[in-house]
Amino acid sequence: MAYDARRAPLLLALPAVLAGSAMLLPLLYLVIRAGGVDPGELAALVLRPKTLVYLGNTLSLVGCVLALTTLIALPLALIVVRSDLGFSRLLTLLAVLPLAIPGYVMAYALIGLSGYYGPLSVFFGLRLPRPEGLFGATLALGLYTFPYLFLTLRSALVGMDPALVESARSLGRAPLAVFWRVTLPHLKPALLSGWLIIALYTIGDFGAIALMRFEVFSAAIYSQYANAFEVHYAAWLSLMLIGIAGAILLVETRLSRGTRVVRSGQGARRLLAPMKLGRWKPLAVLFVAAVALASLGVPALVILFWLTRAPTEIDWAAIPSAAWQTLAIAGPVALVAVAIALPVALFHLRHPGRTSFAVERLTWFGYAMPPLPFALSVAFLSLAALPGLYQSLPLLVAALAVHLAAVALGPIRSRLVQIGPRTEEAARALGRSSAAAFAFITLPLVARSLVAGGVLVFMAAAKELPLTLLLSPIGTRTMAMSIFSRTSEGALYDAAPYAALTILFSGLVVGLILRYEGAPRS
């Protein structure tokens, strides 16, 4: 049955269109700033040899990070959901916790592991070269961002109809053939959603890449803005970066065509019987242990190592205040972002058309905007239009929610694709209103993905730096700001308590998604 192409209800279309329109404001600001260049100087400004270096490095980094995250997240999701290894809740927690470690802290951990004074040199006499360039940036970003792909894949595997795999097995298909012909095609929407989030994050990251001394667009934009060298050049670099994001969105759109996967039945959710690993179990354990050690163990041990060598006392009294301010910002941002993403996803999937397509794409553009230009544009607009809102909590929450709404959109859209419109149409045929059909049928089915999207937004908001630094009320000192200010000075010992508490927050919040997704207990 085709998706409902009738005119969308006003209560659905209006918030979706308003959300999409809000994404245009930063782009408008960049166009205005870029338009201030004299036409005679434009070619010389844009076609610098260094610009081609930024372009090549940015595209290379995106490709390498996507490859690394897929090699980690896809096997890990299959092991957690489909195998008999057990401990699914614990393994899921370990797979998601790297999101609690900011990318720049991951980079510092990798750097702190090497060199003459690192733990490997002190304890084992092993002096690793300093990770930098494409290799170092790929490693830092890959170990930090693979949970984005893991969560979307895990949600898709949990929601997949087990009858499809069982039918293939009953026909005598080998496990590899079942995966290749049945499971992988049904994971395509989740793969594309995860890849899109990771690619957009990679092109906009600054901290980890700068620490790895890799020249990309984001680092160049920050340098131009921070040092007030050439604001117009920074604006054009930002527009080029948005062009790359647009190309990524276009590729994802083309690949997503024809990938709607709907369950044949809508009864009680039934999990597939786990596959016996047999002689492959030791290899699976080794893989999971290696991922956990690299993504969690290395940062924790390196931070602990430098903490024990602290030359000064740590200001423990400042930690509770930073924790509370982080919660007071990240919590509302997660709620508002999910409230934005849900109508956008429903509008796009249930009422396909040019308007709904444009709204959904604009939501991704809001996330694709480099954080620093986005923050500066919001500050500029607030000072020009509503100066009383500048450096206020409502403005900060609204800006973060608009910027991060696409993070929640990925898992929500993937789940709505699996649910399909048939159940709502059946309810309406029985006399239920559209609102009642959504509230009592669709909303419970998509609840797990709402929680997953909220968790992703919470983590991203808790670690966001440029928006928080420029738009937060005077005196605000979040966990992310505290970690960055200390690690940027190389004081890993002073940043360790903040990083540890951030991981604790992550574990508590991730417990919500495990509860709603109903992972089987080991």
Q: Tens digits of per-residue pLDDT, 399-409?
A: 999 989 888 88
**179 vs 75, 161, 164, 170, CA distance in Å?**
11, 14, 11, 14
Q: Which residues, at least 6 apart from 36, have a Cβ–Cβ distance to it below 8 Å? A: 232
Residue type, 349: L
pLDDT above 80: residue 168: no
More confident residue, 498 or 393: 393
Q: For the ranges 10-14, 138-142, 340-344, 497-501, which has the lowest average pLDDT? A: 10-14
Q: Which parts of 181-259 fold into alpha helices (H)?
A: 184-204, 207-211, 217-226, 231-256
Joined together, the tokens standing for residue 393 give: 């909590």
pLDDT above 50: residue 437: yes
The pLDDT of 14-35, averaged and rounded, is 76
Position 338 scores a pLDDT of 92
Position 268 scores a pLDDT of 46
pLDDT above 60: residue 414: yes
User: What is the spatial distance between Cα 35 and Cα 38, in angstroms, rounded to a whole number?
Assistant: 8
Residue type, 363: T
The secondary structure of residue 50, as a DSSP letter, is: H
Residue 83 β-bridge partners: 275
More confident residue, 489 or 135: 135
Closest CA to 392 of 332, 462, 312: 332
pLDDT band at 240 (very low <50, low <70, confident <90, very high): confident
pLDDT above 50: residue 276: yes
Question: Most distant CA pair in the chain: distance in Å?
Answer: 75
User: What is the spatial distance between Cα 211 and Cα 62, in angstroms, rounded to a whole number?
Assistant: 17
Position 520 scores a pLDDT of 43
Report all structural domains of the chain as residue ranges with CATH numbers, in order of start.
10-32+50-261+269-517 (1.10.3720.10)
The pLDDT of 321-339, averaged and rounded, is 91
Collapsing DSSP to helix, strand or coil, 102 comes out as coil
Closest CA to 399 of 484, 473, 482, 501: 473
Position 75 scores a pLDDT of 92
Closest CA to 138 of 217, 205, 50: 205
Q: Which residues, at least 6 apart from 329, have a Cβ–Cβ distance to it below 8 Å? A: 393, 396, 397, 400, 461, 462, 468, 472, 476, 478
Best mean pLDDT range from 98-102, 114-118, 178-182, 186-190: 186-190
Q: Is the pTM of this model over 0.85?
A: no
More confident residue, 522 or 267: 267
Joined together, the tokens standing for residue 467 give: 């928006």
Per-residue pLDDT of 27-86, as tens digits, reads: 787 787 777 777 777 777 778 888 889 999 999 999 999 999 999 999 999 898 877 777
Give the number of residues written for the chain: 522
Joined together, the tokens standing for residue 362 give: 């604009």
Judged on CB neighbours under 10 Å (0-12, 13-18, 19+), 100 is buried
Joined together, the tokens standing for residue 5 give: 């192409």
Q: Which residues, at least 6 apart from 405, have a Cβ–Cβ distance to it below 8 Å? A: 19, 337, 340, 341, 344, 363, 366, 367, 457
Evaluate whether 422 touches 498 at the Cβ level (below 8 Å): no
Per-residue pLDDT of 179-233, as tens digits, reads: 776 777 778 888 888 998 899 889 888 778 888 889 898 878 777 766 665 767 8
Position 57 scores a pLDDT of 95
More confident residue, 441 or 120: 120
Position 515 scores a pLDDT of 61
Position 85 scores a pLDDT of 79
More confident residue, 455 or 332: 332
pLDDT band at 273 (very low <50, low <70, confident <90, very high): low
Evaluate whether 106 touches 483 at the Cβ level (below 8 Å): no
pLDDT above 60: residue 177: yes
Report the 10 Å Cβ neighbour count for 520: 11
Joined together, the tokens standing for residue 254 give: 């083309």
Per-residue pLDDT of 458-499, as tens digits, reads: 888 988 877 887 788 888 888 878 877 776 676 767 777 887
